[in-house]
Structure 1
């Protein structure tokens, strides 16, 4: 059995970076699953958040969803541990500049890199991330 991993891009205003999250569902193009992301702000820093139950049908935010790859079901219970072991960005040195410093996108790139290095996701996921919308 496999799971499907997607980059979930929440498009904010053009003046701020888009919010990135990793959405894992049991069905191809599924609407319900789990979300792994870093939440916070450049002023306060970020923290890793795992939402074990998330439905795209309930969001009112504008988003795009981009397929990153299949994940063997045997990794299901370990993904949260991997997410929590990737350090979330701290307070930005220039918090008034939303494009300065690290944010949720940097955390997600590091998380996906970890999943690729562990053999959980194919390396093509990194290529897909590099082309993903940043705003």
Structure 2
């Protein structure tokens, strides 16, 4: 059974939007896992998996955009008691691929609008998923056409 993988775009004020991959638990609903890098250009970024993340509890403006489908066997849901958690340990194939895509390091000029950020990492991650055969190439176009800045409501 195919599972949908989404681009999650979160408002970050006037700065570039935060982008991550989202896979709902059981392929539907607002709860699931987020695969992303967190940090900033001044300190650098690190990979993080947010498990049991629930969009119903988010207070930031966001959009979820379908990127494509992956085979169910490549996704491990973390349900447990449903408590949200964060870690850096890969538990399935999609997370394992994320561990080999290096996050952006510290920028020599963190105020440069072209400094690498989470959007650059997500682009590399999605390209790697396509290259490895987990996602269709159309996911790259979806990502390239996604909002780079998401205004708050």
TM-based fold match above 0.5: yes
Tell me the matched-pair count. Answer: 132
Distance in 2 (CA, whole Å) between partners of 1:125 and 1:17 is 20
In structure 2, list runs of 5 or more residues that go unmatched. 76-91
**Where do 1:52-131 residues align within 5 Å?**
52-76=51-75, 77-97=92-112, 99-131=113-145
TM-score normalised by the chain length of structure 1: 0.93
Distance in 2 (CA, whole Å) between partners of 1:75 and 1:63 is 26
Contact kept in structure 2, 1:94 and 1:100, CA below 8 Å? no
Map of 2:9 onto structure 1: 9
**Cα RMSD over matched residues?**
1.0
TM-score normalised by the chain length of structure 2: 0.83
Distance in 1 (CA, whole Å) between partners of 2:19 and 2:118 is 6
Distance in 1 (CA, whole Å) between partners of 2:147 and 2:58 is 19
The runs of 4+ residues in structure 1 deviating greater than 6 Å are none
In structure 1, list runs of 5 or more residues that go unmatched. none
